[in-house]
Chains A and B, each alone.
Chain A
Amino acid sequence: MTEPIIYELGAPGRCAARLPDLDVPRAELPPAPLLRDDLNLPEVTEGDLMRHYVHLSQMNHGVDVGFYPLGSCTMKYNPKINEDMARLPGLVETHPYQPEETVQGNLRLMYELQEALKAITGFTAVSLQPAAGAHGELAGVLMIRNYHQSRGDTQRTLMLIPDSAHGTNPATTAMAGFEMVELKSDNRGNVDLDDLRAHLSDRVAGMMLTNPNTLGLFDENILEITRLVHEAGGLMYGDGANMNALLGITKPAETGFDVMHLNLHKTFSTPHGGGGPGSGPVGASPALAEFVPGPIVYAEEALIAEDEVDAENGNGNNAADSPSEYHRGTWYSLRMPPQSIGRLKSFYGHFGVMVRAYTYIRMLGAAGLLEVTEAAVLNANYLQVILKEVYPLSYDRTCMHEFVLRGEVEEAPDIRALDISKRLIDYGMHPPTNYFPLIVPEALMIEPTETESKRTLDAFVDAMTKIAEEARTNPELLHEAPHKAPVTRLDEVRAARNLILRWQPDGE
């Protein structure tokens, strides 16, 4: 199954959108050298366009299509009410530079979300500005840098990062001008404490730690790690990609983290959008609270003029300089925190994503969030305990919300994690994360999430068990998989060697 490129469906003169005629006199255009001659965009009807995208959508696997146990990505079901709320015109058809008094509803929503995330994580301050997890990481690492500089502690240039970390951690460290030092993991999947002690010094700015880590294991020495790093004058950065394991279970700030990002698109059920938009708010301990990126929303009690703006019909009848009455109320405003690292993007963050996450948190409440994590951890351990009989498990202990198997089958030495993954596609399931973390050979990182039923989990167990059997009896079936996808395996080497990054008409 392939679908033509949208350009290939067009014919000159077609257009899928009709605009009104010009209702003012034409003005003189800029001089010809500033004008373009032509713009080669597709020319299609609305019907053609819709069918094109429906066909493309049918070539995609999403959470709404089937099981999606992509480790570290928390592909949980995204409640539909989130989508409806993020399309309420009164919320989203607002310009970011409107006067504050005309967007009090939006600012209150952001404030309440900041407060909710503080309650969940234990942090003192939250900024909703970062656009994604990696962006939140950049915020956090820059906050650590500015903290040390504000104290004149300028020789701290090293950032400690365990070998199990996401690739974003070292990449972010480099962007912020730090040098990274890799720490070993011990045989239980924890940070090797001796290696940590050996690397601590007054040159260490901090440590980036994902907890639970990318093996899905909660570091049993977390209090000792954060104590040691603090003792050496460093700060703790938490990568909150795995927060789905901790809701109501423990508050990262209370275990010694100074700054951490959250992924609203993972933990708080906002859809992943085929790769964005995400949202990566950062929370900060008292030491770093004033350094968060801004602006953020502040609330204060104030005297508010009645009839400031009658938002319901857009009819402000009272002249601003003579409001009829005042009442006491809460006023929300955007301000830069005193020692902020600065602005990380234009405007205030991914508001549309915040609306979805806020909807989710309000619907679940504290008890609901705890139930989320309990079920996520239950599901992961259920799969782990059964599947470790089928595939090797490097770190055999109770996991949190995900676990990592080795994609190896005894008596089938040619089979790799990739083959198992591609074969899973034929069973209608999205493969786990492959080849990550790097410390597990042939890694298959499996995160079922809490929204999957026992029935789905059992079907996954069946599929993984059958695949192991197929690996022994008919390895070609795996090497040539997938057989039931819109295309068979794609030639990635050719794509990189013979770069074609845009469509060209035949012969050009």
Chain B
Amino acid sequence: MTFVPHTEAERREMLARIGVSEIEDLFQCIPASHRFPTVELPRPLSELEIVREMQHLADDNLDVGHIPCFLGAGAYHHFVPAIVDHVISRSEFYTAYTPYQAEISQGTLQAIFEYQTMICELTGMAVSNASHYDGATALAEAAIMALSATRGKRNRVVMAPTVHPEYRQVVRTYIQGMGVELVGDEGLGSNAPRTDVEALIEMVDEDTACLMIQTPTFLGEILDLEGVAEAVHAKGAILVVVCNPISLGLLKPPGAFDADIVLGEGQALGNGLNFGGPYLGFFACQEKYVRRMAGRLVGETVDTEGRRGYVLTLSTREQHIRRERATSNICTNQGLNALAAAVYMAGLGRCGLAQVSQLCYHKAHHAAEAISVLDGYHVDLTVPFFHEFVVRCEKPVADINRRLLYDYDLLGGYDLGQTYPELAGHMLLCVTEMNTADEIAQLVEALEEIAR
């Protein structure tokens, strides 16, 4: 099944019109020695067979629909209202491409414009772009933007060690050819697992383009951003804040603390876990930086009859116009994922997002308090957190997770020793609105038994 519509008669007719006798004649420009190689692939499958094949693969997995999940660490299990998938399944949306022809792309353009509006509200920022590939690449683009905004005179980036470990790796990958010094995330420091914001601010000097921090941190802590932007600006640097969008249903947004760039992983907004992708990176900044922003932007305008309409704008920043002087090489955003995020935000709305946020907060705190009194586990309840918290375990985390999985049918937490050697024996647990009181009780009881 190839979805090619031609009948043999049509094929012949078309070849004749072109003036060749066989289809192979169209490929004479390929060196003969390299033409028509053998391609070894499994035999083609019918639609029925592929359904069976894929179901067979799915059967080799364990999905979160079949096991309570207490795993977060950058990808979150949240409820997605039915309407989200119904909207993104409209093929007028998903079979369109980048809206270069604005007159027949108003659906995509207005949807992005509304997305930008809602991201601005959520983050407390003036401007949002149409999205990045994910939170990690959004952070890398923020670093590059900060370096460019300080006019290439500053060559240093300070990054908190409690920014998601994979985001920090991605920033390093992106900037490896730029001759930039990246400091600050060498180790967790004496306050671990808390983040020493003061020490990070101390590292910001006259050669520093930006300070990049995350709140809630990868280790769950809510940072108090009061005064941070002021201190960073005093050194002429830019403050970049990575945040969790669901937490912003409850917490004061970084924009209210005068952050310059606010970004994060938008997956939690109406996008499923998808084994890690596709997700979306949301990215917002202060108005003065808009011309240095990477990625697509949708702006409002009017048509020749004065009606409101939308277009891609400030494209002179972009690669297809500016080529080697562009702000980034990015072309596509995560259009459909941003659409899902927009439907989710609009669907939950003013009250609903606050409610999700509160459900996560209270359930996570309930779990943390219950675990903190168990023998064999330690939780520092003085650390302010949102829906993730660190548990110090007296047994190895890997062993505890295996027992949780095999003996209790529970997906346990993230083993922090994998990425922070100083946190060997520490587990990061996440609780969302998906976890019922009963599941939390199962987890607590299982942990208690495992510790014995």
Tell yes or no: A338 within 8 A of B by CB: no
Tell yes or no: A337 within 8 A of B by CB: no
Closest residue on chain A to residue B410 by CB atoms: A314
- A330-345 CB contacts (< 8 Å) to partner B: 341-345
Chain A residues contacting B217 (CB-CB under 8 Å) are none
The 8 A CB mask of B13-27 against A (1 = contact, 0 = none) is: 111011100010011
Interchain CB contact under 8 A, B45 and A2? no
Interchain CB contact under 8 A, B61 and A342? no
Tell yes or no: A377 within 8 A of B by CB: yes
Interchain CB contact under 8 A, A502 and B313? no
Residue of B11, B117, B222, B318 with highest tally of chain A CB at under 10 A: B117
Tell yes or no: B396 within 8 A of A by CB: no
Complex CA gap A46/B347 in Å reads 7
Interface residues on B, range: 35 or more
Complex CA gap A95/B279 in Å reads 13
Complex CA gap A222/B331 in Å reads 27
Q: Which of B61, B91, B314, B403 contacts A64 (CB 8 A)?
A: B91
**Known A36-B256, A223-B31: A57·B93 in contact at CB below 8 Å:** yes
Q: Which of A77, A105, A134, A490 contacts B331 (CB 8 A)?
A: A134
Chain A residues contacting B220 (CB-CB under 8 Å) are none
Complex CA gap A29/B81 in Å reads 27
A295 CB, nearest partner CB in chain B, Å? 10
Complex CA gap A271/B30 in Å reads 29
Chain A residues contacting B414 (CB-CB under 8 Å) are 97
Interchain CB contact under 8 A, B73 and A39? no
**Known A41-B349, A79-B3, A364-B1: A64·B273 in contact at CB below 8 Å:** no
Interchain CB contact under 8 A, A250 and B37? yes
Interchain CB contact under 8 A, A275 and B335? yes
Closest residue on chain A to residue B11 by CB atoms: A378
Interchain CB contact under 8 A, B331 and A133? yes
Chain B residues contacting A70 (CB-CB under 8 Å) are 97, 100
Tell yes or no: B185 within 8 A of A by CB: no
Q: How many residues of A contact B (CB 8 A)?
A: 211
The 8 A CB mask of A7-46 against B (1 = contact, 0 = none) is: 1001011111101101111111110011110111111101
Chain A residues contacting B55 (CB-CB under 8 Å) are 88, 90
Tell yes or no: A439 within 8 A of B by CB: no
Interchain CB contact under 8 A, B277 and A350? yes
Complex CA gap A487/B355 in Å reads 39
Tell yes or no: A138 within 8 A of B by CB: yes
Complex CA gap A106/B61 in Å reads 7
- A135-164 CB contacts (< 8 Å) to partner B: 135, 137-138, 142, 145-146
Complex CA gap A239/B372 in Å reads 54
A98 CB, nearest partner CB in chain B, Å? 7
B284 CB, nearest partner CB in chain A, Å? 10
Interchain CB contact under 8 A, A503 and B41? no
Tell yes or no: A73 within 8 A of B by CB: yes
B128 CB, nearest partner CB in chain A, Å? 7
7 cross-chain pairs, A with B, having the tightest CB-CB distances, nearest first: A90-B58, A347-B276, A177-B177, A365-B44, A96-B276, A105-B60, A277-B278
Can you list 29 A-B pairs, Cβ within 8 angstroms, ordered by A?
A19-B79, A35-B250, A39-B121, A42-B118, A58-B107, A59-B105, A90-B61, A91-B275, A96-B276, A105-B61, A108-B57, A135-B133, A167-B323, A248-B37, A251-B39, A255-B34, A273-B94, A273-B334, A273-B336, A274-B99, A276-B333, A277-B332, A361-B41, A363-B47, A368-B44, A431-B101, A453-B6, A491-B302, A501-B298
